Amino acid sequence: MLQRIQTIYLLMAAGVSAGLIYVVELWVLSDGTKVFADDHNYVFAAFLTSAFCSIVTIFRYKNRKSQFMLGRLNIILNFILLGFFVYQSLNISGETAVSEKGIGMLLPIVSIVFLALANKAIKKDEDLVKSVDRLR
């Protein structure tokens, strides 16, 4: 059913992954240039893949096991993206000119939180259905 709490969580995760990447910069270079996610194709593709996976997960409501699995895959994708940002921030801080890290590097963490909450709600629904099936 689409009117469940996990739909809200998944929409928020998709909004963070697809919407906020245009608003929040990832980092600022030493010359004052702001770097957004769409400046790097692989980062942009990872964010859009995460958003697409969240939207697909919403419409898999009839099969909660695949919904849960897609949520986990999306969490793994966001952890990979977060690992790239950690690696990038360690490289940026090692350069001779000082750069600023942007708040956009925390977007995968926010998305992971929403996806974990959605998976928790999906698991709760699955447990409820299993408990009702035992009563039959």
The residues spanned by each domain of the chain are 5-126
For Cα atoms 105, 110, 116, give the angle at the middle one, nearest 5 degrees.
135
pLDDT given at position 92? 64
pLDDT given at position 91? 75
**Do 75 and 115 form a contact (C-beta atoms < 8 A)?**
yes
pLDDT given at position 71? 94
Q: What beta strand segments (E) does the chain contain?
A: 27-28, 34-35, 100-101
pLDDT tens per residue across all 136 residues of the chain: 567 899 999 999 999 999 888 888 888 877 778 888 888 899 999 999 999 999 999 999 889 899 999 999 999 999 999 998 888 877 765 554 556 777 888 899 999 999 999 999 999 988 888 888 776 6
pTM of this prediction?
A: 0.88
pLDDT given at position 135? 67
